[in-house]
Every structure is written in structure tokens, then in C-alpha cells.
């Protein structure tokens, strides 16, 4: 990995986001290689214990016991972290490296960034849950979700997981995950269907067709848990992508992502059961893709509410969500929509809109944006990440009228499953 080069625009903008006393630590850590982290992927605790015995033997031979440890905030032994980089591991400890590469190839473990593990941890999946992973590829979070479906007596659970992705080639990656409770689908996340037509072996009566009835030929599904890990500008992944990734950063990609992110989260709220849980996440640190998206969805959907998870995973270092920010545009930081210039020559997805700016003081009091979570590289030697945990209130608890869902294309007669 080459040296991370941050553009002047990136530094100028994020100095308004990162607390001043933390900037040097943030900048220094962002230029380092990521630690090597992985999850165990075995069906039973007995097999996990056997693998960990072999791992412990390799660590002892190489005097690395102090450098390899389970992630403390996870509270178990299923996720591990090596304080050095994978590059250092592969060059300095070839036998241990071969062991871990073999374990990865066999599916015994899978590599996953530490911050990427956080959204599923806060989702709190149970084996009986109906779970939707809206933007699932390449599948590390899906694998993490499926761990909750493991049972010591049986690998079969009463719940299920739908792993969806908009790109068919990426769905092929998801289909390599073999689990009886997993279904892979191929939809644009913002148009994911609420109902599915049921196939039947009965030949249709073409002369006197029966009208379709809800519950007979149509299956409507609401989900207990939804992961909404949306496409984003990925500017929090500087430690992984490195080199010149941020050298031409200007904030425009965050503007392009914003509206699609809002639509995907809105669809997730629609598909969620009352009192269910949805986690919205990005690997961006830009509030235009994060707090601004949450604020707009809360504004439009009074049935949605941010959950206070400040006492969950106390060993996970985090920063609160923001209630004030600017929008980066053409080398400037705009603090209100009134400062936006002529946009007549821009495409619709390139235009800055009022939804990208902070909510009003009155809205801030209601929204509780401080309940959002920001994970910075210097807090616990990770990449940058954002997440927010939301729930859906029952209708009788909602003040005002719940807006109807937006019109969407009808589901296909033969869903792409």
C-alpha cells in the first residue's frame, strides 16, 4: 500500500468534523496499514475450539500470543485481531501465514475489517428472525448474520436471511455462501419488493381465470431485522485503499450518493416489522451520507426512531452523531442551502439539495442524532465508519399520519431468486 495522500479539500473539510485535539492522531493513524482481522466460520463450538488450539500452537511457536487477541468489545472468541498488518504477517511469519491462508481457502475463517463487524453486532440477530441484508455483497456481513442461526443441536433455524444485491456478478459471490437458511436475490435495494408471487403447479384456467387474492398467490413479508449497509463514497476506507484514493477528494461523490441512500433506507423502514430493528451504515465519514440521510428519513417517516445504544458494547470506542456540519462543494464548505450557486448545468444526482444540510434546532431536539455512531481510525486502530440503529413504532404510537409508501414498479411475475 502506498502512502495515503489527502487532498487539501479533504483535510479542510474533515478538520471541521474531527475534534481539533484529535486531528493529528486521526491523520497519523489514517496513513497506517490496517491490522489483520478475521471471523471464525465454523458450524459448532467444538470445531471452533479445535481450530483455536491449532492457532494457539502457531502463536506460541512464533511468540505472538500478545499480538493476536479476540476483539474485546465483541465479548467472545469468534473475532480476532492481529495488531500488525497482513503484509507484516505474510513476510515475517510464513508458516503461520500458510495456516491462515489455508483456513481462509477452506472457509474456516474469513477476513473482515473490524468496523465492518459492528453493524451486525448492533443488529442483534436471533435464530428465529426474518432478516434482510439489503446491499449484501461481497457477503462478510451476511456470514456474520448467519452465525446467529447456528445451534448446538441443529444447523436448521426457524428464521431466514435474504441476502440481496443489485449487481448479478456480486450475487454470484453471495451464492458461494452455503447455508440452509440463506436466500440470495438480485434487486435494486430501493425497489426491493414487499410482496412475492407464489409459484404453483396448478395449471391456470385461461377461460375463467381466478382473481389473485392476498395470502393465496401473494406472499407479503416484513422483517424483524434489516441491515442497510448502503453504497457510499467510502472515504473512511483510506487505510485499506490508500495510495492516491483521497488525493482528488472534493466531496462531490457524497452528494451523488445521498438521494439513493435516502431511498434505500426509506424502503428498509417500509419493509421492517413494527418494533423491529434496522441498522443503517456506511464506510464514509461524510455527514451528507450519514446524519443528513438519517435526518431526512426521520423527517419523512414519523414511525421511525433512533435507538439509544450507548450502553451496548461499552468497550467499543465511538463518537456521537453530529447535529451541525457543512457541505463540501468546489473547494468551499457551504453552511446553508442559500449559499449554493447556479446548478443548471449539473445532472440531478450532482445537485446539492436542502436535505444535505443540518436539520433545524426544533428538529434536532426531536431527532436525537447524537444516538448515531461514528467510528474513527485513531479510536481503536480501525478504518472509519458510521452507523445508526433505528426502530419502527407501532401505528398507534405514531403522532400524525404515516405517509404512504412511494409508488414503485410492481414485483416481477417470476422473482429473480
* Same domain? 212 vs 88: no
Widest CA span in the chain: 78
Q: Take residue 209 and report the three cell numbers written for it.
A: 381465470
Q: Categorize the per-residue pLDDT at 266 as very low, low, confident or very high, splitting at 50, 70 and 90.
A: very high
Euclidean distance between CA atoms 8 and 300, whole angstroms: 35
* Same domain? 79 vs 127: no
Contacts of residue 210, defined as CB under 8 A and 6 or more positions apart, other chains included, come to none
What pLDDT was estimated at residue 396? 61
Q: Categorize the per-residue pLDDT at 170 as very low, low, confident or very high, splitting at 50, 70 and 90.
A: very high
* Same domain? 269 vs 382: yes
* Same domain? 140 vs 84: no
Q: What is the CATH classification number for the domain harbouring 335?
A: 3.40.50.150
Span 77-101, pLDDT tens digits: 999 999 888 888 888 899 999 999 9
Coil, helix or strand at residue 146: helix
Contact present, 106 and 199 (Cβ < 8 Å): no
Domain boundary among 111, 145, 162: 111
Q: Categorize the per-residue pLDDT at 368 as very low, low, confident or very high, splitting at 50, 70 and 90.
A: very high
Beta strand residue intervals within 83-135, DSSP E: 109-111, 130-133
Is 118 part of a structural domain of the chain? yes
Query: Which residue do the cell numbers 426502530 mark?
Result: 391
Query: Choosing from 181, 257, 283, 372, which is the catalytic residue?
Result: 283
Q: How many other C-beta atoms are found inside a 10 Å radius of the C-beta of residue 58?
A: 17
**pTM of the predicted model, to two decimals?**
0.89
Mean pLDDT of the region 412-417: 47
Domain boundary among 111, 133, 162: 111
What pLDDT was estimated at residue 404? 47
Percentage above 70 pLDDT, the chain: 87
Q: Total domain count for the chain?
A: 2
Euclidean distance between CA atoms 150 and 145, whole angstroms: 10
283 catalytically annotated: yes
Is residue 41 over pLDDT 80?
yes
Is 13 part of a structural domain of the chain? no
Span 294-319, pLDDT tens digits: 999 999 999 999 999 999 999 999 99
Q: Categorize the per-residue pLDDT at 276 as very low, low, confident or very high, splitting at 50, 70 and 90.
A: very high
Residues facing 332 on adjacent strands: 329
Span 179-215, pLDDT tens digits: 999 999 999 999 999 988 877 565 655 455 554 555 5
Burial 134-156 (b: 16+ CB within 10 A, else e): bbbbebbbbbbbbbbbbeeeeee
Q: Enter the DSSP assignment of 231.
A: -
Domain boundary among 111, 129, 163: 111
Contacts of residue 67, defined as CB under 8 A and 6 or more positions apart, other chains included, come to 59, 82, 83, 84
Q: Provide the CB-side half-sphere exposure for 393 (13 A, CA).
A: 16
| Residue 347 phi, psi (nearest 5) | -70, 160
What pLDDT was estimated at residue 45? 87
Domain that includes residue 92, residue range = 35-111
Is 416 part of a structural domain of the chain? no
Contact present, 111 and 38 (Cβ < 8 Å): yes
Span 213-231, pLDDT tens digits: 555 678 889 999 999 999 9
* Same domain? 97 vs 126: no
Higher pLDDT, 269 or 202: 269
Contact present, 273 and 355 (Cβ < 8 Å): no
CA 379 to chain centre: 19
The answer to whether the peptide bond before residue 138 is cis (omega within 30 degrees of 0) is: yes
What pLDDT was estimated at residue 307? 98
Higher pLDDT, 73 or 154: 73
Is residue 406 over pLDDT 70?
no
Residues flagged as binding site for S-adenosyl-L-methionine: 135-141, 165, 229
What pLDDT was estimated at residue 416? 47
Euclidean distance between CA atoms 117 and 130, whole angstroms: 20
Amino acid at each position: 500500500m502506498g502512502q495515503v495522500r489527502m487532498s487539501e479539500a479533504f483535510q479542510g473539510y474533515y478538520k471541521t468534523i474531527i475534534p481539533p485535539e484529535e486531528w493529528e492522531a486521526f491523520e497519523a493513524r489514517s496513513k497506517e496499514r490496517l491490522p489483520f482481522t478475521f471471523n471464525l466460520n465454523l458450524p459448532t463450538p467444538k470445531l471452533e475450539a479445535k481450530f483455536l488450539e491449532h492457532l494457539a500452537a502457531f502463536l506460541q511457536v512464533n511468540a505472538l500470543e500478545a499480538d493476536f487477541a479476540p476483539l474485546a468489545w465483541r465479548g467472545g472468541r469468534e473475532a480476532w485481531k492481529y495488531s500488525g498488518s497482513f503484509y507484516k504477517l505474510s513476510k515475517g511469519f510464513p508458516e503461520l501465514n500458510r495456516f491462515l491462508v489455508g483456513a481462509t481457502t477452506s472457509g474456516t475463517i474469513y477476513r473482515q475489517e473490524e468496523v465492518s463487524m459492528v453493524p451486525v453486532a448492533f443488529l442483534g440477530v436471533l435464530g428465529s428472525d426474518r432478516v434482510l441484508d439489503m446491499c449484501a455483497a461481497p457477503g462478510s456481513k451476511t456470514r456474520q448474520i448467519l452465525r446467529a442461526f447456528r445451534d448446538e443441536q441443529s444447523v436448521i433455524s426457524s428464521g431466514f436471511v435474504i441476502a440481496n444485491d443489485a449487481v448479478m456478478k456480486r450475487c454470484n459471490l453471495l451464492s458461494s455462501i452455503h447455508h440452509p437458511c440463506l436466500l440470495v436475490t438480485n434487486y435494486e435495494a430501493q425497489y426491493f419488493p414487499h410482496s412475492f408471487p407464489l409459484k404453483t403447479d396448478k395449471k391456470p384456467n385461461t377461460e375463467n381465470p381466478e382473481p389473485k387474492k392476498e395470502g393465496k398467490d401473494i406472499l407479503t413479508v416484513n422483517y424483524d431485522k434489516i441491515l442497510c449497509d448502503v453504497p457510499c463514497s467510502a472515504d473512511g476506507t483510506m487505510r485499506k485503499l490508500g495510495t492516491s484514493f483521497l488525493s482528488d477528494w472534493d466531496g462531490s461523490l457524497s452528494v451523488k450518493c445521498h438521494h439513493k441512500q435516502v431511498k434505500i433506507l426509506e424502503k428498509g423502514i417500509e419493509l421492517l416489522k413494527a418494533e423491529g430493528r434496522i441498522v443503517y451504515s456506511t464506510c464514509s465519514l461524510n455527514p451528507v451520507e450519514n446524519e443528513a440521510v438519517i435526518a431526512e428519513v426521520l423527517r419523512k417517516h414519523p414511525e421511525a426512531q433512533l435507538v439509544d445504544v450507548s450502553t451496548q458494547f461499552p468497550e467499543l470506542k465511538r463518537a456521537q452523531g453530529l447535529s451541525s456540519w457543512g457541505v463540501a462543494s468546489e473547494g468551499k464548505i457551504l453552511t446553508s442551502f442559500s449559499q449554493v450557486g447556479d446548478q443548471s448545468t449539473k445532472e440531478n444526482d450532482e445537485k446539492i439539495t436542502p436535505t444535505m444540510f443540518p436539520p433545524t434546532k426544533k428538529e434536532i431536539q426531536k431527532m436525537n442524532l447524537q444516538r448515531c455512531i461514528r467510528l474513527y481510525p485513531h479510536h481503536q486502530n480501525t478504518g472509519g465508519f458510521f452507523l445508526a440503529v433505528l426502530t419502527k413504532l407501532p401505528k398507534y404510537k405514531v403522532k400524525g399520519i404515516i405517509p404512504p409508501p412511494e409508488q414503485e414498479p410492481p414485483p416481477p411475475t417470476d422473482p429473480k431468486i
